Amino acid sequence: MRNDPKMDPVVDRGAIVSSAGCGRRPPTALRGTVADPAAGTVRLSLHRSRTTDQGPVVADPAAVHARHVDSPFIRACRGLPHDTVPVWFMRQAGRALAEYRAIRADHDFEQVVQTPELAAEVTLQPVRRYGTDAAILFSDIVTPVQAMGLGVTIKPGVGPVVDEPIRTIADLERLRRFEPDVDAPFVLDTVSILVDELDVPLIGFAGAPFTVASYLVEGGPSRSYTRTKALMFGDELTWHRLMDRLAGITLASLRAQVERGASAVQLFDSWAGALNPYDYQRFVEPHSRRVFEELADLGVPRIHFGVNTGELLGRMAAAGADVVGVDWRTPLDVGRERIPEGVGFQGNLEPAVCLGSLDHVEARVRDVLARAGGRVDHVFNLGHGVLPPTDPAVLTHVVELVHREGRTDGTLAPGVAPLRPEVESPRPDADTGGTDEPPHGDGPRPAVGR
């Protein structure tokens, strides 16, 4: 633990008791137990990881992989027989949890990511709370480029913003080779703490070249990706050079996480859905394929996820993924048909459903399970990230329901059925004219880079 008063392992911060130790056990059996948020001030004690003078104890990755090889999550990713439908949530670490907000009250986002004890704690919190079958490392897709000194800041309520966007061939000089253990050792130390603590597999992740490029070129979040597309269509050589460098950064980051013990990786190409299949295939796929290909020797499952990618699912599988994430706009059975046999699928409960009534949540969970068809290669997830106002108790309920009613032998449990349109739309003539939600429930996307 560093000599920083803010890093004191015991922090009084309303409503939480938490410490180390985590896995798929009932919450009461965990060392870190979440108290009733209404119950007043209790202690949040960050765990003390096993450390040496050189940092946390580094586990033997082969031993870590052996520990999780028979877990439902890893077996589902490989399409191998197992009993329980595994479930985890994108953006499970974070804003929906009071215990996360308690940490963020004292530390900005970067401080949490760059302090292994804090990043590990925030990664463990949702696993304790929800009983998920996998943990996802707490970091960000821009962490590597930020650590390389590219002038990236995570602005609260906005997302990553870049001081000097990358738009010309000369700008590429700023994108040097990424050395994970030199540039971002804190990420690897976080992985080491986690694989020592977790009873479930840790998912490492990185942003795919296109999605990271969109932030670097636009200068921040965007709706239309105008500048990104202007570069792509206007100067193809610079575009491919940029993508090549970003693929190298992504690859180095993912390899290092696996070599420290991450059991699987997810490549987030969150904004690839801004492209049609032709442009995806020409401008993006070769670079994502390189990432997947050059990870193959590590032997861990590789998941590929994007938003609004109903038309790209086949291509995202062809890029070399073992599992393809289906966002919530595509019915899961339709998405499944677009993904070749031999490649697993992940998804896809609509995140906003978790803001509704429990009856509706249950019906929609059963709808997803029914559309998954009891297949052995299904990983249950949301169709994008957890929205900040989600009641954590709903997510716990979702996990319990999936574990109770999910089947992996090609059959459906009694009562598990797809929703029929007439059930979903009791007033078909009503004015639905809604707007699309912002990507992370952060309110309207800011004007940055549009």
Q: Which residues bind ligand 1CP (CB under 6 A)?
A: 90-95, 104, 109, 136, 138, 140-141, 154, 156, 159-160, 205, 211, 221, 268, 270, 385, 439-440, 442, 445
Nearer to ligand 1CP, 79 or 160 (CB): 160
Residue 232 tokens, joined = 């792509």
Q: Greatest CA separation found in the chain?
A: 68
From the CB of 172, what's the least distance to ligand 1CP, in Å?
22
**Catalytic site positions:** 91, 95, 104, 140, 215
| DSSP codes joined into one string, 67-105 | HHTTSHHHHHHHT---SS--B--TT-SSTT-HHHHHHHH
Nearer to ligand 1CP, 287 or 445 (CB): 445
From the CB of 184, what's the least distance to ligand 1CP, in Å?
15
Query: By beta-carbon distance, which residue lies closest to ligand 1CP?
Result: 159
From the CB of 102, what's the least distance to ligand 1CP, in Å?
12
Nearer to ligand 1CP, 362 or 442 (CB): 442
Residues with Cβ within 8 Å of residue 224, at least 6 apart in sequence: 274, 450
Phi then psi dihedrals of residue 129, to 5 deg: -65, -50
Tell how strand 323-325 and strand 302-305 pair up: parallel
From the CB of 353, what's the least distance to ligand 1CP, in Å?
17
From the CB of 358, what's the least distance to ligand 1CP, in Å?
23
Nearer to ligand 1CP, 225 or 292 (CB): 225
How far apart, in whole angstroms, are the C-alpha atoms of residue 379 and residue 77?
7
Nearer to ligand 1CP, 51 or 111 (CB): 111
Nearer to ligand 1CP, 104 or 371 (CB): 104
Residue 63 tokens, joined = 């031993």
Cβ atoms of residues 35 and 172 within 8 Å? no
| DSSP codes joined into one string, 162-184 | ESS---STGGGGG-----HHHH-
From the CB of 115, what's the least distance to ligand 1CP, in Å?
14
Tell how strand 159-162 and strand 55-56 pair up: unpaired
How far apart, in whole angstroms, are the C-alpha atoms of residue 438 and residue 436?
7
Dihedral over Cα of 13, 15, 10, 114: its sign: negative
What one-letter code names the amino acid at 150? Answer: L
